[in-house]
Amino acid sequence: MPFPPGVGGGRTVGDVNLDTFEVITADKAIDEKNVGNRMLRNMGWQEGL
């Protein structure tokens, strides 16, 4: 059975849109609204010094 479009089966380079990615730097840290940040903090993670 073939894979649905965009799932498995390998991809060609043309299928990837690199313009949609955003780079996060130390100047622009992930804030408290980020779901992953909230989950980590609920598990006890604290930002380093």
Q: Which two tokens stand for residue 11?
A: 């991809």
- DSSP codes of every residue in 15-35: G--GGG-----TTS---TT-H
Q: What is the pLDDT along the chain (49 residues), one digit of tens a residue?
A: 677 777 776 655 565 555 677 777 878 778 888 999 999 999 999 988 6
Q: Specify the pTM.
A: 0.42
